[in-house]
Structure 1
Amino acid sequence: MKKMLVVIALAVVSFANAQKGTVLVGGSVGYSSHNVSNRGNDSKESVFNFSPRVGYQFNDNWTVGGEFTVATAKEEFGNNENKINNFALGAFLRYTLPLNQTFSVFADLGAGFQNQKDEVYNGFVTTTAKADGMYVGITPAIFINVKKGFGLNFNIGGLGYSALSYEHNGPDVNDFSFSFGKAFNIGISKNF
């Protein structure tokens, strides 16, 4: 099954000439869509997320900051519809290693709280389930300094874990992801 994935990433990173005491502002926006048409059994799936971040570079290699994510996923098939809304709030720690004036490598470690609301409509009745939990992840990346602190960021996935516990004796969901080579994100950044 092929999916068309469109990712627009605006991620903030430090750059080779970064100085302590600077502020990083940025984030990411992502969208994906998947449509299947099969003799009247059509299905549509779409996912959207928005993840802004703000950080403070307290020395030439270390940055600490806050992040949050708002995401929604919707799947339609026949008269049925599934909708998932997710909100996450957390912090990140970044270590940057300058290789030269143009290139740097960095790794982000992020962790925080998340909640999720699932709505399932089966053509007659809507069922709602709510869950709370946590997430943690690490993402290595490369930064290319283009001009005066503006640059491009590239990553090809990361390592992550999330846990959700549903209300009213619902299930506990644990998700481990290893996405190296399965994701590709490009972003621009600026250090203020």
Structure 2
Amino acid sequence: MKKVVMSLLVSALSMASVYAQKNTVLVYGSINAESQKLSSGTKTSTFNFSPAVGYQFNDHWTTGLTLATKTGKDFSGVKTSTFGVGPFVRYAMPLSDIFAVYGQFNADYLSGKAGDLKMSGFGGTLFPAIGVNMKNGFALNFSFGGLSFASQKVKGASKSTTDVNFNFGSGAGFGISKNF
């Protein structure tokens, strides 16, 4: 239950603004902290921080830069750290003065370390969302899944690992954002 509550809280901080307001700066991000303890006494913990900033060129298009850092320790005590940075592009379509839909694509360079293993690669995420315009540049945002791809190679390995995830409707996120 704690994991579900933490996931909802993280999602509340993670979504970006819906309405592309011409010549404004969009700022959003997420903070996530999670800890689990098994009955055997072993623990796992993770912390991640993912800020983003973008420029809204017109009423529909926004581009910017995302950053993501994550550190953790798994049940066996192995420490992990990951880093991602890359551009994003978003297209928003207002449905009314209050509601809008948008699609966003993030492309990231990925780097990480798990114990003594170092890895690097790239990834991309495409997701749809719905936004509710509030007041003074604030918006409530609701996402409902997406499509993601990641390819990473461990240093010294001959082949890379590729992950593809398609999860429309299997998860939901909630967020608040601000346009300046």
TM-score, normalised to structure 2's length? 0.88
- Return the offset for 1:84: 1.5
2:71 maps to 1:72: yes
Regions of 4+ moved over 6 Å: none
Q: 1:11 to 1:159 in 2, by over 3 A?
A: same
Structure 1: which amino acid aligns with 2:136? K
| 8 Å contact kept, 1:14–1:24 | no
Structure with a larger share of its residues in strand: 1
Contact 1:14 1:191 (C-alpha < 8 Å) held by counterparts: no
1:170-181 mapped onto 2 (5 Å cutoff):
172-181=160-169
The answer to whether the aligner puts 1:145 opposite 2:133 as a matched pair is yes
Q: Which of residues 78, 82, 86 is equivalent to 1:82?
A: 78
The alpha-carbon deviation at position 174 of structure 1 amounts to 1.1
- Equivalent residue number for residue 30 of structure 1: 32
Q: What is the distance in 1 between the residues matched to 2:46 and 2:165?
A: 18
Distance in 2 between the 1:130 and 1:155 partners? 32
1:117 is aligned, of 100, 113, 117, to 113
Counterpart-to-counterpart distance in 1, 2:45 and 2:132: 31
The 3 A distance-change label for structure 1 pair 30 and 170 is farther
The structure whose Rg is larger is 1
Q: Any unmatched runs of 5+ in structure 2?
A: none
- Aligned counterparts of 1:36 and 1:96: Cα–Cα separation in 2: 43
Alpha-carbon contact 1:154-1:187 (below 8 Å) kept: yes
**Partner secondary structure for residue 144 of structure 1:** strand
For the Cα contact (< 8 Å) 1:160–1:177, is it kept in 2? yes
What is the distance in 2 between the residues matched to 1:105 and 1:58? Answer: 17
**Residue 90 of structure 2 aligns to which amino acid in structure 1?**
R
Contact 1:86 1:117 in 2 (8 A): yes
CA distance in 2, matches of 1:151, 1:82: 39
| Alignment equivalent of 1:161, drawn from 146, 149, 159 | 149
Bigger mean CA deviation after superposition, 149-158 or 175-184: 175-184
Greater helix content: 2
SS of the aligned residue for 1:42 comes to coil
Displacement, 1:169? 2.4
- Deviation of 1:61 after TM superposition, in Å, equals 0.3
Map of 1:44 onto structure 2: 43
Corresponding position of 1:94 = 90
Q: What displacement does 1:14 show? A: 3.6
